[in-house]
Structure 1
């Protein structure tokens, strides 16, 4: 083997710029995009610098198939410590008997829950996609819709609220093996006790897909599904403000089934740098500062919803209990797709989504990221004004958005 005299590669803030300036430019441009617009996507947030540091750590180099103390690779002594810390913090944060921190995403967590509890062809009752159900709740384009027989429940067409009587009637009629409660576009708290009662009446497992509210749960700003659901699936980003990834919580009796469903059934090696970042986020979420943050997220969402209604939008369910708002811009004279394009051009970044009434689409906004930046009620009112001005294509909105975000930068440059 030839002997080399080259030094080990240098690491540090400028490593990417030295080695791959093309990709460095992309990252710098994305940082500028985030720092010059209003990030109002309900599923996004700004992680702490500590979370980002864990994501970029040497743990990214470690292969660690299996679980702490039972890995398929050597050299896992320290990553075992990191994963145990993440597990213990998640269990304490949510009051769960068992936590699996390995799922790569919320969808991976749901897949593992189904794999643990169901067999192909089983009937599952979940929120229908037109009413805010996720792809993993029975979309024909997703594994869930191809492997299982999904029955969709909806919401009351007038109030936009979950019709629990309909859920119970569908459960009695179809006798599902599992019931899924959770949504990507439902701005109100879910009555987990009611779902538990319905599931018990038909002998079904209850799976809570808490990807959106789990951060609010951590901060005491939303009810917890943990005491009611057999399995809770969640993401670690969104309001929880951790890295992009998934999480599963369950009781001790299902722990082994869940763990086997994650590895080796649905995933391979754990992403140890992400698990370390999850541990950091769980630690941050256990602090009084995060509790205050979670309540501020909800307060900001309610103020923003009221201000958007005053600006002419129709707000689904008449408001929100969470970080999430569904707004119909039709009274402003535009459809959701057109509104989204105009808002994006002005630096207000958000999503379109199905509305719970009819076949129309609306806009989905969230306040997690802007609250992380330190914005409060006055800024929420102004954001609603900028929203309306951007939809009407008034001049100067982009500059004002840039100035507003400049007062509340997502990160301080050292």
Structure 2
């Protein structure tokens, strides 16, 4: 067996990586923003393209020796365009935030007014946080959700658009578990002469699998991550029409980024190829079905599930009935090996928790396991002992893809 060079050359870091692999395999990954990349995606990330400096775009690089890097990027572009029905795809953004920055740079000028999801209602940092470039460079106006239903307040969106005449309207949230009405947002944007930017970082994998509406036909620009439900490498992408292609490309390079990370671009190509398969379509629908079962089971355990459920892989809930707020609940659950996030709640009270089913679904878990997970969450929040042991037993039965203990022929292996 070949000797691991990292183990021999840097055992200190090798120990860290081994411990992280153990943590991921032995705890329950319910972070809605995380997933397990396939072994093929990880293989591309560790490829010789990591050595290649490829500043520019295919056919117009600033360095020699980019012929094969060009080929890899064109494959990624073509697969993304076919997967989402887009005229143009830029696959170079290093992250979702970098994709949003480039979209703003392509469409806006400093000081322009932008209408986006308010941060307390689940808006991302790039949707106007004063600590982020977005809040420093642009004048953001936030729209919210109905405090009772947790659903987007479309009348408020239209009223704010008419009052402020924004240059762009941004659709997207880190906590919204329902499908936004892209057609209605498009109509509002057209009414006030605004660009429509969809930040689809969370649902884009569901879109790829046909389990969520596609925003591409409605948006001027769609920004997304390539991890989360899409199950690719950490990174971002931008989809747009041919009319904005040059502006978007120049906003990525040379405006906001230098050389592309070609190993990551190659890994994105792998992920797009995997997402075009019937197996991924089944996976995306299974992730949504699992989330609906989990949401109903959490409500039965006593948590207050926002919007009464979910249309996606994502769930937000108030653990207040257990006498704790979101950050405390996150810590309590982590002690039992259950990894969740804290998040804002629509009614503006103490923070809640955010969960997602993407990773657990990749591991092959189904409705039975979702009900079991909800019971474990209820027990842990209720102060009962023993949940940690059951979590370890559950994750041992459903190891991550590529794990030495993965069952041959399991759902993850088949993907």
Q: Same fold (TM over 0.5)?
A: yes
Partner of 2:136: 146
Matching of residue 295 in structure 1 with residue 293 in structure 2: no
- Root-mean-square deviation (Å): 1.0
1:20 pairs with one of 10, 23, 45: 10
- Residues in 2 aligned to 1:16 and 1:311: alpha-carbon distance in whole angstroms: 45
Shift of 1:230: 0.1
Aligned residues: 404
- Residues in 1 aligned to 2:325 and 2:153: alpha-carbon distance in whole angstroms: 27
Partner of 2:409: none
Matching of residue 256 in structure 1 with residue 246 in structure 2: yes
- Residues in 2 aligned to 1:102 and 1:67: alpha-carbon distance in whole angstroms: 9
Matching of residue 335 in structure 1 with residue 328 in structure 2: no
Summarize the alignment of residues 199-218 of structure 1 with structure 2, pairs less than 5 Å apart: 199-218=189-208
1:399 pairs with one of 389, 394, 408: 389
Find the residue that maps to 1:364 and give its secondary structure: strand
2:233 pairs with one of 236, 243, 261: 243
- What stretches of structure 1 of length at least 5 have no aligned partner? 1-10
Partner of 1:90: 80
- Cα pair distance change 1:286/1:12, threshold 3 Å: farther
Summarize the alignment of residues 272-287 of structure 1 with structure 2, pairs less than 5 Å apart: 272-287=262-277
- Residues in 2 aligned to 1:374 and 1:344: alpha-carbon distance in whole angstroms: 22
- What stretches of structure 2 of length at least 5 have no aligned partner? 406-415
Once the two structures are superposed, what CA deviation does each residue of 1:295-327 show, in whole Å capped at 9, x if it has no partner? 000000000000000000000000000000001
Find the residue that maps to 1:161 and give its secondary structure: coil
Find the residue that maps to 1:375 and give its secondary structure: coil
Partner of 2:294: 304
Shift of 1:359: 3.2
Find the residue that maps to 2:260 and give its secondary structure: coil
- Residues in 1 aligned to 2:324 and 2:161: alpha-carbon distance in whole angstroms: 39
Matching of residue 413 in structure 1 with residue 404 in structure 2: yes
Find the residue that maps to 1:151 and give its secondary structure: strand
Find the residue that maps to 1:187 and give its secondary structure: coil
- Residues in 2 aligned to 1:316 and 1:128: alpha-carbon distance in whole angstroms: 17
TM-score (norm 1): 0.97
Partner of 1:33: 23
- Residues in 2 aligned to 1:359 and 1:258: alpha-carbon distance in whole angstroms: 39
Find the residue that maps to 2:222 and give its secondary structure: strand
Find the residue that maps to 1:26 and give its secondary structure: helix
Find the residue that maps to 1:357 and give its secondary structure: coil
- Residues in 2 aligned to 1:15 and 1:168: alpha-carbon distance in whole angstroms: 58
2:316 pairs with one of 321, 326, 338: 326
Once the two structures are superposed, what CA deviation does each residue of 1:323-359 show, in whole Å capped at 9, x if it has no partner? 0000100001222121111100100001000001123
Once the two structures are superposed, what CA deviation does each residue of 1:28-60 show, in whole Å capped at 9, x if it has no partner? 000000000100000000010000000011110
- Residues in 2 aligned to 1:267 and 1:330: alpha-carbon distance in whole angstroms: 43
Shift of 1:13: 6.2
- Residues in 1 aligned to 2:170 and 2:188: alpha-carbon distance in whole angstroms: 11
1:195 pairs with one of 185, 188, 204: 185
Matching of residue 220 in structure 1 with residue 210 in structure 2: yes
Find the residue that maps to 1:378 and give its secondary structure: helix
- Residues in 1 aligned to 2:113 and 2:331: alpha-carbon distance in whole angstroms: 39
- Residues in 2 aligned to 1:306 and 1:339: alpha-carbon distance in whole angstroms: 19
Matching of residue 68 in structure 1 with residue 42 in structure 2: no
Partner of 1:313: 303
